[in-house]
Amino acid sequence: MKKNLLILGILSLGCALSFTSCGDDDDDNNGGNNEETSEDFYVSTAEYSSDNAAQWGNYMRVVSGLLVDDSKTLYDEWNKSFAQTFINHNSSNYLSAINCIETILDGCTDIASEVGATKIGEPVSLYESGKKTEALYAVESWFSWHSRVDYCNNIYSIKNSVFGSRNGVVNSSSISAILAEKNPEMNEKLISLINAAAKAIDDIPQPFRNNIGSSEAKTAQAACANLEEYISKYVKPYFQSNINSDDVLDPIVETYVNNVVLPTYKELAEANVALNSAVVAFQQNPSNDGFEKCCEAWLKAREPWETSEAFLFGPVADKGLDPNMDSWPLDQKSIENILKSQDFAELNWDGEYDEESEEIAKSQNLRGFHTLEFLIFKDGKARTIK
């Protein structure tokens, strides 16, 4: 998840095409009472209808097409060049195998921190400060009620990186395998903390957006912090001091690339093609069944993306592909303007990627998984034709 720089401080969640407020189905534990909200806070009321059906379908198609382009670019960049650059560690950023291991472990700590401190922590912080409605709308993937699964998949991206596999089995050439040989207690502790974080997230009552104030949310936040701390303070320094030979680490780096990164990105690219096909079919023949198929395809495409978030380095960062595909929270007021204007050129940007560019961020916040999620889901279910 790439936080959008334009709206971090204000949680501007616009749209006035008619979206039902979630406060109606919140209980006292959830933050349904609007006790305190920012003047900039805006709750959407957008609905798909016969009046905007053509515009809505057009927007869905453009966004899904961009997801196809971005995920293909990402896979191609790795498959054609960056994978070998990383494996051979022959660039200024990667001068040795230990540099690559440090990068892998940094990616793991980054996503553990993001899940705990941002994806769970920011809604919890807003809730505890009395901004209960804003807390609700700060939850990533709340349109689909898929937040817990997304966050668990983020933790699984750490497990995959450490295990050198995507099937839960420890590869013989992996971070976990070498730790099991050199320091079995550290390996057991690391695996225990990964599993504990995933379980704590899964223990949050479903959906998270209705249970922000729950004790389980706080427990999950703490479990992610424990995982992040252990990798950064113990596992990474241990490798730096005790396992820093290229001969030992090169097979681990190669396995990581070939068994984890490339297959994940390949699956993402293929799933986005299938998602685009479902969207195009819906646009050509809108139906409730078509909305359902779009949602099913979105969920399938979402999984490889979320299980890639422990390796948000290289092309995905350098080319702005992470925020292209995963900016959050949404600027729904601007999305509404695109629905009305159909000026889809606003979704594109040119030139070298600059993370500080507000113009690029504006474009990125109008596209990606969450924009499409908004267009096809409502309250955890597929939208329906009115």
pLDDT over 80 at 71, yes or no: yes
For the chain, percent of residues with pLDDT exceeding 70? 89
Q: What is the pLDDT of residues 351-369, one digit of tens each?
A: 999 999 999 999 999 999 9
pLDDT over 90 at 386, yes or no: no
What phi and psi values does residue 368 have, to the nearest 5 degrees? 90, 180
What are the distances in angstroms from CA 166 to CA 157, 271, 305, 364? 8, 17, 13, 29
Task: Name the pairing type of β-strands 327-328 and 381-382.
Answer: unpaired
Q: Is residue 199 part of a domain?
A: yes
Q: What is the pLDDT of residues 175-232, one digit of tens each?
A: 999 999 999 999 999 999 999 999 999 999 999 999 999 999 999 999 999 999 999 9
What are the distances in angstroms from CA 332 to CA 11, 13, 44, 137? 10, 5, 7, 11
Q: Is residue 273 part of a domain?
A: yes
Q: Cα(139)–Cα(123) distance, rounded to whole angstroms?
A: 6
Predicted pLDDT of residue 44: 66
pLDDT band at 331 (very low <50, low <70, confident <90, very high): confident
- The residues facing 328 across adjacent strands are 3
pLDDT band at 330 (very low <50, low <70, confident <90, very high): confident
Q: Cα(66)–Cα(171) distance, rounded to whole angstroms?
A: 35
What's the number of domains the chain is made of?
1
Q: Is residue 4 part of a domain?
A: no
Q: Is residue 28 part of a domain?
A: yes
Q: What is the pLDDT of residues 144-190, one digit of tens each?
A: 999 999 999 999 999 999 999 999 999 999 999 999 999 999 999 99
Is the previous residue joined to 304 through a cis bond, with omega within 30 degrees of 0?
A: no
Q: Is residue 35 part of a domain?
A: yes
Q: What's CA 249's distance to the chain center, in Å? A: 29
Q: Is residue 289 part of a domain?
A: yes
Higher pLDDT: 314 or 36? It is 314
Q: Is residue 1 part of a domain?
A: no
pLDDT band at 350 (very low <50, low <70, confident <90, very high): very high
Q: Is residue 5 part of a domain?
A: no
Containing structural domain, residue 284: 12-382
